[in-house]
Chains A and B, each alone.
Chain A
Amino acid sequence: MAATEHERRSGPALELDGAAVRLGGRTVWSDVSMRVGPGEFVALLGANGSGKSTLLKVALGTLALSAGRASVLGRAPGEASRSIGYLPQRRAFDAGTRLRGRDIVRLGLDGDRWGLPVRAPWGRGAARGRAAALRVEAAIAMVGADGYAERSIGECSGGEQQRLLIAQALVGRPELFLLDEPLDSLDLPNQAAVAALVAELCRSTGVAVLLVAHDVNPLLPYLDRVVYLARGRAVEGPVEQVITSETLTALYGLPVEVLKASDGRLVVVGQPEPPAHHHDRHDHSHAHVG
Chain B
Amino acid sequence: MSADPANPRLGWNVLRDVGELVEYHFMVNALLAGAIVAVMSAAVGWVMVLRRQTFAGHTLSMMAFPGASAATLAGLPVAWGYFAFCGAGALIIGRVGGSERRTWSEESASIGTFQAVALAAGFLFVSLYGGVLGDLDSLLFGDVLGISDGQVLVLASVAAASLAVLVVLARPLLFASVDPDVAGARGVPVRALSVVFLAVLGLAVAATSQITGPLLVFALLLMPAASAQTITARPIPSLALTLLFGVGVTWLGLGISYFSVYPAGFFIATISFAGYVLVRAGAALLGVRRARPADPMPVDGVIA
- Which residues of A are interface residues toward B (Cβ below 8 A)? 60, 62, 78, 81-82, 84, 86-88, 90, 93-95, 97-100, 103-104, 107-108, 110-117, 151-153, 155-160, 165, 168-169, 187-193, 196, 218, 263, 285, 288-289
Contact = CB atoms under 8 A, between A and B. Distances in A.
A112 B171 contact: yes
A189 B178 contact: no
Nearest to A188: B304
A112 B174 contact: no
B185 A94 contact: no
Contacts, number: 128
Contact of B168 (A115, A152, A285): A115
B168 A196 contact: no
Given A112-B188, A152-B233, A285-B100, A189 B168 contact: no
A165 B298 CA distance: 18
10 contacts: A95-B292, A97-B50, A97-B178, A98-B238, A107-B174, A111-B174, A153-B178, A168-B179, A192-B298, A192-B300
B274 to A, nearest CB: 21
A192 B298 CA distance: 8
B295 interface: yes
A132 B289 CA distance: 29
A111 B298 contact: no
Contact of A190 (B169, B175, B185, B295): B295
Q: Summarize B's interface: helix, strand, loop or mixed.
A: loop
B171 A114 contact: yes
Contact of B171 (A62, A115, A218): A115
Contacts of A168: 179, 182
Contacts of B167: 115-116
B32 interface: no
Interface residues of B, number: 44
Given A103-B233, A112-B187, A155-B290, 12 more contacts: A82-B186, A93-B178, A99-B50, A107-B178, A107-B179, A114-B172, A156-B292, A158-B295, A159-B296, A169-B182, A189-B298, A192-B302
A104 B50 CA distance: 13
Given A155-B292, A157-B295, A192-B301, A111 B185 contact: no
Interface in B143-186: 167-172, 174-175, 178-179, 181-186
Nearest to B299: A193
B81 to A, nearest CB: 33
Of the listed residues B167, B181, B187, B302, the one surrounded by the most CB atoms of chain A closer than 10 A to its CB is: B302
A182 to B, nearest CB: 13
Which 8 A-B pairs give the minimum distances between C-beta atoms? A193-B298, A111-B175, A88-B181, A152-B233, A192-B302, A98-B229, A159-B295, A86-B185
A203 to B, nearest CB: 15
Contacts of A99: 50, 178, 233, 235
A115 B52 CA distance: 22
Nearest to B304: A188
Interface in B264-304: 289-290, 292-304
A187 B174 contact: no
A116 B165 CA distance: 11
A104 B178 CA distance: 8
B97 to A, nearest CB: 15
Given A99-B50, A116-B171, A218 B178 contact: no
A189 B297 contact: yes
B297 A86 contact: no
Contacts of A108: 182
Nearest to A110: B171
B230 interface: yes
Contact of B184 (A62, A187, A196, A289): A62
A86 to B, nearest CB: 4
A263 B295 contact: no
B178 A157 contact: no
B186 A86 contact: yes
